[in-house]
Amino acid sequence: MTAYFIVRAKVVDVAVKNDFDRWYQDEHLPDALKGFNARRAWRGWSAVDPLVHHAFYEFGDMAHAQAIQGSHALKSLVAEFDRVWGDKVTRSRDVVEVVQTIGT
């Protein structure tokens, strides 16, 4: 079943939100898509909390999504994220396997 690697980021310093959005769009999302060898990736801002950003990376199965943990690609991307954003943006990660789909 399809699985997703999900990153939730919270902009702590509102002054950097636009720069963070531009950086994620132009650099981080494309680099992560390639580094993770994901099927596709997308991202968006929360309508509930406008300082929360979610990024989704789609994989064919749970094994591929879980393989990201501890990978060289993730380590490199985390190091770059930390270098650029430091304590201005916090984040958490999750891996979710689709167990049911209904509708079109």
CB 36 within 8 A of CB 57: yes
Summarised one tens digit per residue, pLDDT across range 13-50 is 999 999 999 999 999 999 999 999 999 999 999 999 99
Tell me the pTM: 0.94
Cα separation, 79 vs 72, whole angstroms: 11
What are the structural domains of the chain?
A: 3-97 (3.30.70.100)
104 pLDDT band, cuts 50/70/90, is confident
Summarised one tens digit per residue, pLDDT across range 54-93 is 999 999 999 999 999 999 999 999 999 999 999 999 999 9
Per-residue confidence (pLDDT) for residue 7, from 0 to 100: 98
